[in-house]
């Protein structure tokens, strides 16, 4: 069997064309570039990797990006207050908060600082609730990118998708969005028993465990599709959850790491950012 290796960079080009058109329209109306704020309080290698890719992508799309690094709390330092002041001073057109959030900064604090109309990640409670209720809304970019890749595979009705992740930015929003589009969905996680038996009965497996080399052919049915959302920094560079060599010639479709879901996620972030920014402008033009 020939395994199709997904090309994230080529797939992203179609998304970038629309984003560049939107940024051009924004500049023609506002007379300046749209301003995109990247807030990182996590301090993780993965966040740094994605942060650099966002800055490069923003430059390519005529978007001004600004990084805000938030240090941990100290005796005379309140990170939430620091972040709130930075956002007010910058007055950006959209904001993304790198995940995972550190233990000293919770979702409620973020929602008090970042209003829904600036939340490019769409990870606020209102959006998550609307997604669960079946509304088509902005969802976290990694879940959105994975959704777009799955939809590109074609026929959805009757397709069974196994998601090995239950986080608020991947597993949960992706599961709801897939259900809204008539896929059959099973969510597995670290406490699930017999994951290999469950996942190997599904047509599509999405893995996002963050464990290098976690997933091999025993997790996948022959001819199934595999989407690797993992990103792990190792001594030998960046890798994903999958043992790619084990899946070649066995799976029908595979997203590599790097070069798979990552580039699509970055493009989706910029696309969703520009849609948010333009929605605000269009609303103002109505009055």
Helix (H, G, I), strand (E, B) or coil at 135: coil
72 and 195 share one domain: no
Helix (H, G, I), strand (E, B) or coil at 144: helix
d(CA 49, CA 112): 27
Residue with tokens 């986080």: 167
C-alpha dist (Å) from residue 42 to 38, 45, 282? 12, 9, 34
State the CATH number of the domain containing residue 247: 3.40.50.720
Q: Are 141 and 38 in contact (CB under 8 A)?
A: no
54 and 144 share one domain: no
Query: When comparing pLDDT for 281 and 178, which is higher?
Result: 178
Provide the residue range defining the domain that includes 211. 129-262
Chain segment 212-260, per-residue pLDDT in tens? 999 999 999 999 999 999 989 888 889 999 999 999 999 999 999 999 9
**pLDDT tier for residue 186 given thresholds of 50, 70 and 90:** very high
172 and 236 share one domain: yes
Region at 259 (left for phi over 0; alpha for psi -120 to 50; beta for the rest): left
Does the pLDDT value for residue 119 go beyond 60? yes
**pLDDT tier for residue 284 given thresholds of 50, 70 and 90:** low
137 and 250 share one domain: yes
Residue 66 in any domain: the answer is yes
pLDDT of 105? 80
Bridge partners (DSSP) of residue 5 are 254
Residue 137's φ and ψ, nearest 5 degrees, are -130, 170
Residue 197 in any domain: the answer is yes
94 and 156 share one domain: no
- DSSP letters for 249-283: TTSSEE--SSSSHHHHHHHHHHHHHHHHHHHHHHH
Residue with tokens 């992706």: 174
Which stretches of the chain are assigned E, i.e. beta strand? Answer: 4-5, 35-40, 64-69, 94-97, 160-164, 184-188, 204-207, 225-228, 232-234, 237-239, 253-254
Q: How many domains would you assign to the chain?
A: 2
Q: What predicted TM-score, i.e. pTM, was given to this entire model? A: 0.91
Does the pLDDT value for residue 287 go beyond 60? no
Residue 284 in any domain: the answer is no
Does the pLDDT value for residue 45 go beyond 80? no
State the CATH number of the domain containing residue 52: 3.40.50.10860
Chain segment 72-111, per-residue pLDDT in tens? 888 778 888 888 898 889 999 999 988 777 888 877 777 7
50 and 108 share one domain: yes
148 and 252 share one domain: yes
Does the pLDDT value for residue 115 go beyond 70? yes
Does the pLDDT value for residue 283 go beyond 70? no
Residue 149 in any domain: the answer is yes
Find the farthest-apart pair of alpha carbons in the chain and give their distance in angstroms, rounded: 61
**pLDDT tier for residue 269 given thresholds of 50, 70 and 90:** very high
Does the pLDDT value for residue 285 go beyond 70? no
148 and 251 share one domain: yes
87 and 170 share one domain: no
């Amino acid at each position: 069997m020939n395994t199709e290796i997904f090309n994230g960079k080529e797939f992203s080009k179609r998304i970038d064309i629309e984003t560049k058109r939107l940024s051009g329209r924004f500049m023609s109306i506002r007379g300046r570039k749209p301003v995109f704020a990247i807030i990182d309080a996590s301090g993780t290698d993965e966040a740094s990797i994605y942060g650099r890719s966002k800055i490069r992508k923003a430059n390519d799309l005529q978007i001004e990006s600004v990084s805000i690094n938030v240090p941990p709390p100290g005796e005379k330092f309140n990170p939430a207050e620091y972040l709130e002041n930075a956002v007010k001073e910058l007055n950006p057109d959209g904001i993304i908060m790198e995940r995972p959030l550190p233990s000293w900064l919770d979702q409620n604090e973020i929602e008090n600082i970042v209003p829904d109309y600036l939340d490019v990640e769409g990870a606020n409670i209102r959006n998550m609730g609307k997604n669960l209720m079946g509304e088509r809304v902005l969802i976290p970019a990694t879940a959105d990118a994975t959704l777009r890749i799955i939809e590109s595979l074609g026929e959805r009705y009757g397709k069974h998708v196994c998601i090995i992740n239950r986080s608020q930015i991947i597993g949960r929003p992706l599961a709801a969005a897939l259900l809204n589009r008539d896929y059959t969905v099973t969510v597995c996680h670290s406490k699930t028993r017999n994951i290999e038996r469950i996942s190997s009965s599904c047509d599509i497996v999405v893995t996002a465990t963050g464990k290098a080399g976690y997933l091999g052919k025993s997790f996948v049915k022959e001819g199934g599709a595999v989407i690797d959302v993992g990103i792990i920094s190792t001594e030998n560079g960046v890798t994903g959850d999958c043992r790619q060599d084990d899946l070649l010639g066995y799976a029908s479709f595979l997203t590599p790491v790097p070069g798979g879901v990552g580039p699509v996620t970055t493009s989706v972030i910029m696309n969703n950012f520009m849609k948010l920014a333009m929605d605000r402008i269009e609303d103002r033009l109505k009055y």
